[in-house]
Structure formats: C-alpha cells, structure tokens
Amino acid sequence: MNRNLFDFAPAAWLPTQDKAVLEYNLKFDKAKLTTLLVSQAEIEEAFAAVDPEFLTILEQAAENIRNFHSKQVRNSFVIADKPGIVLGQKVTPIEKVGVYVPGGTAAYPSTVLMDTIPAKIAGCGTIVMVTPPGADGKINPVILAAAKIAGVDMIFKVGGAQAVAALAYGTQTVPKVDKIVGPGNIYVALAKKAVYEVFSSFKNFTVTGAELIDENERICTFSVITSLSGDERIEISLRRDTGSVVLYDGRSAVDSIERVIAAGWGNLYGKI
C-alpha cells in the first residue's frame, strides 16, 4: 500500500484532496471520474433498476435491524432525589460517521443496513458512505438501493486506502468524519491502521486475520468457512482480501491447513 496518502500533514493534504482521490480511483479502480459525490438521480435510477422482490427483502431486513437496535438505545438521565447531590449520565451521539462498503468482487448491501441503521437510531448526525466504483464509474445498484432504504446522507464513489484517507482527513467534497466503520480488504484494513497511528483519538481501527506472503509477493490471507470436531472437516477459503485467525488444538489440524494453503498458493513465506 502506498503510504504517501497518510504521510501528508493536513496542511499538505488540503491543496490536492479531491484531485488526489480521483487520481487514485483511476489508478486502482480504472474509474475515470470528474466528481466523487453520487447524485440523487443516480440513486433513484439504481433503486428503479433493482428487482422489486429484492427491494422487499432489503426493506424487511432493515425493519428487523431497526426493531432490534431500537431496544439498545442508551439515554441521558439525571438523578437529583437528594439535596445537594446530582448524578447523571450524558449520552452524546457521534456527529459524523463514515461507512466503508466493499464493492468490486463482493457487494454487501447487508453492510449498508447493519452499519447505517444502528447509527441512525443512536442519533448520529451525518452518515457518509464510501464505496468503490466500477470501471464504468457506477456503483452497484443494490448498494445504492440499500443506502436509500437505510437513510445514508451522502454517498461517494471512492474505495480502498484513498477512501479511508478521504474520510479521515476530509476533502473539498468528502466531509471529515469522527469514526469509520465497515469491512474492507487488506489495503483498507492497513489504511485504517495508518489513520489510527496518525490520529490517536481516531479510535476506528480493527484488523483481523493472518497475513502470508507467497513467492510472488502477493498478499495472501485466509478465512475459515467451517470448523467441526474432526480435523478432516476443516475447510479453508484462500483469499487476498480478508482474513481470520484459526485456533485449533491438534497438530494434525495445522498440517491439514498448511496442505490446503500450499495447494492453493505454492510456497509461502509464513507460518500459521
């Protein structure tokens, strides 16, 4: 990952902002854009293009999520039932939240719903969504449909490390946020880590998974699909973009995992 994006001091970042993000979009996603903001017309067009049956499923899922998380709302309160003694709790919602939604090989409308709706219920002021565009400059219609149903306030065509930088530092069009949520590939995860290192108060960083590098210096991580009691029942899906940690009691299980990794990726410079 090119760390130059995160080595900028805010003063140095300000003159380039949108221009830098657009250049990274072209470099990494092959998307030649002139603007980052998704228009209301684009959202409505995408919504109309999605299968009505799928929209019904999204709306039902959204309602289920609202019903559940509405029970978790924390409220401010003050107790002053004794003279001279005042106790209380003040709950202040985060003002601006950035939601990263994967695109490209994997489109997850569920991410939009599960990250946005709880934030709305909590009272967060502005939800800013970023998601990578395709080479045609468009966003997957189901992602935009989910964003409309969930109540996302602003949507921007940007993914990868540059999206994290835009949310953390702000640009001419992308507002600087107070927290970033949502899954992403290894580059997004490392970008979050870089942002966390720059802003000690920007507590948004979570990275999971084991990283391995193969002989061609490709980033190779793995995730467990199923783990049952027998060693022979362990199944692994090799991926370049997500990872999980395997905890298992038994050398034979580790041998099985190593054999699967070797079969899929060749010689690895790493151990589980």
The confidence score (pLDDT) of residue 37 equals 95
Give me the half-sphere count of Cα atoms (radius 13 Å) on the Cβ side of residue 163: 32
The confidence score (pLDDT) of residue 272 equals 39
Alpha helices in the chain (DSSP H): 4-7, 10-13, 17-29, 40-49, 52-69, 109-122, 141-150, 160-169, 186-198, 251-265
Q: How confident is the model at residue 190 (pLDDT cuts 50, 70, 90)?
A: confident
Greater model confidence, 147 or 267: 147
Q: What percent of the chain has pLDDT over 90?
A: 46
The confidence score (pLDDT) of residue 199 equals 60
- From the number of C-beta atoms within 10 Å of its C-beta (0-12, 13-18, 19+), residue 259 rates as exposed
CA 27-184-39 angle, to 5 degrees, is: 65
pLDDT tens readout for residues 200-235: 555 544 444 333 333 343 444 444 333 333 433 333
- Average pLDDT for the chain: 76
pLDDT tens readout for residues 56-114: 999 999 999 999 999 999 889 999 999 999 999 999 999 999 999 998 666 789 999 99
pLDDT exceeds cutoff 60 at 189: yes
**Arithmetic mean of pLDDT, 130-142:** 93
Nearest to residue 174, comparing CAs of 45, 32, 20? 20
The confidence score (pLDDT) of residue 80 equals 92
Polymer length in residues for the chain: 272
pLDDT tens readout for residues 38-70: 999 999 999 999 999 999 999 999 999 999 999
Rg for the chain, CA atoms, rounded: 21
Distance (Å, whole) CA 10 – CA 172: 13
- Strands laid side by side in the 154-157 sheet: 154-157, 126-131, 96-100, 179-181
The confidence score (pLDDT) of residue 169 equals 87
